[in-house]
Amino acid sequence: MLVAMEFDLFILNGVVVLENEVGEFDIAIKDEKIAKVVPRGGLEGMVTKKTIDAQNGCVMPGGIDSHVHLNEPFIMAGGRCADDYESGTRSAIAGGTTTIISFAPQSKNEPSLLAALKETHELADSNCYSDYSFHALCTSAGPLAISEFPALRAAGISSLKFFMAFEDLQLHDDEILDVLLAARRNQMTLLVHAENGQVISWMTKQLEKEGLFDPKWHISSHPPVAETEAASRAIALAGFIDVPILIVHVSQPAVAETIRAAKKLGLPIFAETCPQYLFLTRDDLDKPGFEGAKCVCSPPPRNASDHEGIWRGLEDGTLTVFSSDHCPFVYEDENGGKKSSISKEYPNGRFQYIPNGCPGVETRLALAFSAKRLKLQKFVEVSATYAAKMYGLYPQKGALIPGKSDADVTIWYPEDESFTLSNKMLHHNVDYTPYEGQTLNQWPRYTILRGKVVWDRDAGGVVGNKGYGKFLERGVSSLAAPLRPEHDWNARDF
């Protein structure tokens, strides 16, 4: 006699966002994978251990946040980020994100990228609630770092970020060329922080000379040209070496326009934007007292009138991924790394010493989903699918493909009910959210990671366990390829 297969979980009655259509489908999960996606009612008569009734709510792949800083030392901050791998990934699942990609930062005294990777594994392994991987973070591109690219690939790290800004962190053009060429030869995806560090330093000096120290002057110290110039230079250098790049945290429509033009020329240029550039404005840095420090990040939030151009960039594919750039610092705390500027090492109240970065891993999806600005499929593409493709995780992540995709699912409520966002609701280790008081109409009801419910908003909140999150070895990007991958780059060709 044949024994009927027993599934682990059914998700019934959802409006499911698939890559080619949105519709009424039921989902069966078995052994941590999506096993079946069938028209509603199609699982009748089959056996399962557990069922979730989505009640016509939206069902989509779990969010992928491909730009998250956890437990990193920050030179400027005189401390570490406020979230470690435990609190940061707990915050991620509570907001519907099932995979994060954080950074393995090279340190000043230790030029080895592999040493940084080992150290970051020690911080993350057995501490995560979500699945996770790391981008290498290169702040000094010496011969040792460059020689380690093949070993990084063998260790499942297929992407690397570098800075064009910040003394002590930034690479100069010759080092950038070394990194671009090594990335091309090893099929690594590069993330570029495109701001001109010297423009920022020069502007900071001008402002300080005039006695302008308040948080709002951070915006003037990062003028639009610092970002437009660096983005154009990054595109030019990447074109010279013929290697794909992704420009992170794009803040201005003018930069989006430059990227759009590069794409039209057929160049493999990709880009990212973040909630700060859709939901914050320069006014948020001009709050009474030192409160504006809470929203200091780089590039800074721009004008409200710029938001439209950033949304349009996401809509038309100019901006490929929407991630949080979660870079958490407490506002009021004595343990260093704080934003409220009262520490011995750093003179009080000067914007240049405010740690750069905002928390946002938990609020990213709810902010964008509540805004109802993007079509459902576009929302899923920019918040999950494209990151999976960009960083070598697809179709294991970022999709709901039977037999191929992990059963990572976010289920939303069937109806909108407005509520006011407050930091009290959140699970990060930060004493504020930049989005305090914003009206939202959606929050993930369930987060499911590899078939297991890890967030149940109405019954228990975070119900996943620390250590369930797995390290993800990543392969090559399925979006980004050099124009001529078959040719080795050769100086004699020029």
Closest separation in Å from C-beta 298 to ligand URP: 4
Residue 372 near which of Zn ion, ligand URP, none (CB within 5-8 Å, type-dependent): none
Residue 297 near which of ligand URP, Zn ion, none (CB within 5-8 Å, type-dependent): ligand URP
Q: Residue 49: count other Cβ atoms within 10 Å of its Cβ.
A: 11
Among 357, 359, 392, 469, binds ligand URP (CB under 6 A): 357
Residue 271 binds to ligand URP (criterion: CB under 6 A) = no
Closest separation in Å from C-beta 12 to Zn ion: 39
Closest CB to ligand URP among residues 37, 327: 327
Among 102, 159, 228, 356, binds ligand URP (CB under 6 A): 356
Residue 188: DSSP 8-state: P
Residue 364 binds to ligand URP (criterion: CB under 6 A) = no
Residue 447 binds to ligand URP (criterion: CB under 6 A) = no
Q: Residue 286: count other Cβ atoms within 10 Å of its Cβ.
A: 15
Are 381 and 336 in contact by the 8 Å Cβ rule? The answer is: no
Please give the helix or strand (H or E) that residue 39 lies within, else none: strand 33-39
Closest separation in Å from C-beta 434 to ligand URP: 12
Please give the helix or strand (H or E) that residue 153 lies within, else none: helix 149-154
Q: How far apart are CA 411 and CA 408, in angstroms?
A: 10
Q: How far apart are CA 373 and CA 319, in angstroms?
A: 15
Burial 186-207 (b: 16+ CB within 10 A, else e): bbbbbbbbbbbbebbbebbeeb
SS3 content of the chain, % helix, strand, coil (to 5): 30, 20, 45
Closest separation in Å from C-beta 286 to ligand URP: 18
Residue 327 binds to ligand URP (criterion: CB under 6 A) = yes
Closest separation in Å from C-beta 13 to ligand URP: 40
**Mask for 52-71, x = binds ligand URP (CB under 6 A):** -----------------x--
Residue 325 binds to ligand URP (criterion: CB under 6 A) = yes
Among 249, 263, 427, 445, binds ligand URP (CB under 6 A): 249
Residue 193 binds to ligand URP (criterion: CB under 6 A) = yes
User: How many residues bind to ligand URP according to rule CB under 6 A?
Assistant: 9
Tell me which amino acid residue 182 is: A
Residue 172 near which of Zn ion, ligand URP, none (CB within 5-8 Å, type-dependent): Zn ion
Closest separation in Å from C-beta 325 to ligand URP: 5
Q: Nearest-CA neighbor of 93 among 455, 355, 380?
A: 455
Residue 297 binds to ligand URP (criterion: CB under 6 A) = yes
Q: Nearest-CA neighbor of 217 among 281, 165, 305, 282?
A: 282
Q: How far apart are CA 127 and CA 52, in angstroms?
A: 28
Closest separation in Å from C-beta 357 to ligand URP: 3
Closest separation in Å from C-beta 422 to ligand URP: 23
Closest separation in Å from C-beta 325 to Zn ion: 4
Residue 218 binds to Zn ion (criterion: CB under 5 A) = no
Q: How far apart are CA 335 and CA 346, in angstroms?
A: 14
Residue 381: DSSP 8-state: I
Closest CB to ligand URP among residues 268, 357: 357
Burial 225-253 (b: 16+ CB within 10 A, else e): ebbbbbbbbbbebbbebbbbbbbbbbbbb
Site for Zn ion in 153-212 (CB under 5 A): 172, 193
Q: How far apart are CA 65 and CA 154, in angstroms?
A: 23
Closest CB to Zn ion among residues 21, 174: 174
Where do contacts with Zn ion occur on this chain (CB under 5 A)? 172, 193, 325
Instruction: State the residues that interact with ligand URP by CB under 6 A.
Output: 69, 193, 249, 297-298, 325, 327, 356-357
